[in-house]
Structures are given as structure tokens and as C-alpha cells.
């Protein structure tokens, strides 16, 4: 029997992400109308446009956060609508523009949330999960600040932690909504170098 995991690994010719004829409305307002795109495995696709042009909405639909009013979205050839949230999260991670919390958690706690899709009653937290989280913190230069409380982090530090959380998820596809927001020029360049070096599919709103 072929599992979906095996299918994902084998069908390299199928687009990693595909959106066909997608429209989406927020209330009575049409945000997207008949949008189609396809992203090849390993490709970097940039979504470029002014604020309010629908870039964030495209990413949320690709991530399965919003369901399209019309049209279809496929992840490696499989209908996103038919997939469970945990299954989607094992293949796709998103870094939103803003994501905050009032909880008294540390930077490392926030990154550990990226491992959630891989945990279950049969798969508890392991030493390998600790290693993955530490590696993700190191990638964004936040390993030495991992025990700081969320409220003590600057906007740029929080953004880097969001990116580390996505990296800890070990996705095949990474969606990023203006990821350089709140970062200084040196951090922006370092982040872009990091993202470009990732051997995965990337869709970025800029």
C-alpha cells in the first residue's frame, strides 16, 4: 500500500502548491478574484504588490487558514480541503506578519510549538525534538536569548522567533508574509540569505 507520505516524496513533477481559479470574499468585499498560480518543488515565488492588494489573503488560502469562496488549492497534488490540519502542518509552515501572545512563555517555548504537528499519543517529545528546536534558534541567532520571556523581546526578536518556530516545524513548504518587518538592515540580509539557502519550496509576500 502506498501511503500519502510516500506519494509526497515521489511525485516531484507535481507542483508543490497550486491554486486554480481562486476567489475569496470577506463579507461583501471581494478580496481575490480568479487567482491561479503554481509553485514548483524547491522554487522561490515572490508575491509583490501594495498593501491591501491581497498578498496576505493568498498566503492564508495556500496555508488552509481561509477556505476559498471559489476555486481549488492543491498541496503536492492533493486537495487541501480534504487534508487534516495536522497533516497540512507536517508539510507546510507559515510565518505571519503579526502573531502575538499574552502568555508568559519563553522564546524557546514559542519555538517548541513548531514541533506540535509531529507529536501524538504514540510520539511524545524526544531528545531529537530538543535538537531541532536548538538548531532552529541557532539559525536565526536567538540561541543565547532562548530563555527570555516573550514580553521582554523586541519586535525584531519576536519576528526571528516566529521564523525559528516555522523552521522547527521542518516543513517542505514555507510561506512568509513580509518576513523582514521589524528587522534592521543587517538582520534583513541575514534572513534573506537563510531563506534562500533552505532546500525547500518558499512563497514570500514582499
pTM: 0.87
Helix (H, G, I), strand (E, B) or coil at 188: helix
**CATH number 3.40.50.920 is the correct assignment for the domain at 4-205:** no
CA distance 184 to 200: 25
Residues linked to residue 61 through DSSP beta bridges, in sequence order: none
CA distance 63 to 43: 17
- The model's pLDDT over 46-96, given as tens digits with 9 standing for 90+, comes to 999 888 899 999 999 999 999 999 999 999 999 999 999 999 999 999 998
Amino acid at each position: 500500500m502506498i501511503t500519502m507520505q510516500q506519494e509526497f516524496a515521489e511525485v516531484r513533477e507535481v507542483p508543490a502548491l497550486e491554486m486554480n481559479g481562486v476567489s475569496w470574499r470577506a463579507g461583501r468585499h471581494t478580496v481575490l478574484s480568479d487567482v491561479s498560480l503554481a509553485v514548483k518543488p524547491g522554487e522561490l515565488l515572490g508575491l509583490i504588490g501594495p498593501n491591501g492588494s491581497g498578498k496576505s489573503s493568498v498566503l492564508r488560502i495556500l496555508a488552509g487558514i481561509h477556505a476559498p469562496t471559489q476555486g481549488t488549492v492543491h498541496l503536492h497534488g492533493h486537495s487541501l480541503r480534504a487534508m487534516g490540519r495536522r497533516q497540512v502542518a507536517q508539510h507546510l509552515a507559515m510565518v505571519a506578519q503579526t502573531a502575538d501572545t499574552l502568555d508568559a512563555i519563553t522564546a524557546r517555548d514559542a519555538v517548541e510549538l513548531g514541533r506540535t504537528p509531529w507529536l501524538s499519543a504514540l510520539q511524545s517529545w524526544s531528545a531529537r525534538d530538543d535538537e531541532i528546536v536548538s538548531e532552529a534558534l541557532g539559525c536565526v541567532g536567538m540561541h543565547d536569548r532562548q530563555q527570555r520571556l516573550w514580553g521582554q523581546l523586541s519586535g525584531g526578536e519576536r519576528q526571528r522567533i516566529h521564523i525559528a518556530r516555522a523552521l522547527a516545524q521542518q516543513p517542505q513548504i514555507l510561506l512568509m508574509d513580509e518576513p523582514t518587518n521589524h528587522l534592521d538592515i543587517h538582520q534583513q540580509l541575514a534572513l534573506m540569505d537563510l531563506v534562500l539557502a533552505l532546500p525547500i519550496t518558499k512563497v514570500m509576500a514582499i
